[in-house]
Amino acid sequence: MHLVTAIIRPERLDFVKKALEDQGFAGMTISEVRGRGEQKGIALQYRGGTMLVDVLPKCRVEVAVGDHRLDDAIEAICGGARTGKAGDGRIFVTPLPRMVRVRTGEELADAPPTPDKG
C-alpha cells in the first residue's frame, strides 16, 4: 500500500474528488493547508497599494491506495487538478507498510476499504 498525498489548488478540489470517485476511490482525507512553491505567491491590489501574499491557500488530499491502483490514483489527481499554470500542485507517494481500522483493530491488506466495512 501507499499513501498518495496531493497538494492542489482549492478551486480544483471538486474536480479531483470526482476524478478519484470515478476511478473507485471513495475514501480520502481532505485538509485546508497553506504553502508556497515555484509559484512564490501573488501580488494583490488593496486600497491603492500592492500587497504580496507569499503563502497561498491549498488543499491536501490523502488517499491510501493498493500497489496495483497507484497509477490510477495519480492519473485521476493529475487530471482533476491540472490547469497548466504554475501552482497546480504536487503529488507525494509514501510507502504505507501498515493500515489498521480503528473501530475493529483489523489490519487492512493491500486493498481499498469497502463501504460495508468502513
The verdict on pTM exceeding 0.85 is: no
**pLDDT tens, residue by residue, 26-39:** 999 999 999 877 76
Does the pLDDT at position 112 exceed 70? no
pLDDT on residue 117: 43
Q: Which of 67, 59, 61, 60 shows the shortest CA–CA distance to 112?
A: 67
pLDDT on residue 92: 98
CA distance 69 to 16: 16
Q: Let me know if residue 106 belongs to a domain.
A: no
Q: Dmax over Cα atoms in the chain, in whole Å?
A: 59
CATH number where 31 lies: 3.30.70.120
pLDDT on residue 15: 98
Region of 89 (left: φ > 0; alpha: ψ -120 to 50; beta: rest) is: left
Q: Provide the domain count of the chain.
A: 1
Residue the block writes with cell 496531493: 6
From 42-46, 69-73, 110-114, the region with the lowest mean pLDDT: 110-114
Q: Let me know if residue 101 belongs to a domain.
A: no
Q: Let me know if residue 69 belongs to a domain.
A: yes
Mean pLDDT throughout 65-76? 96
Q: Let me know if residue 68 belongs to a domain.
A: yes
pLDDT on residue 53: 73
Mean pLDDT throughout 60-70? 95
Q: Let me know if residue 9 belongs to a domain.
A: yes
Q: Let me know if residue 113 belongs to a domain.
A: no
Q: What are 114's three cell numbers?
A: 469497502
Angle (nearest 5°) at CA 25 between 10 and 80: 35
Domain hosting residue 45, numbered range:
2-95
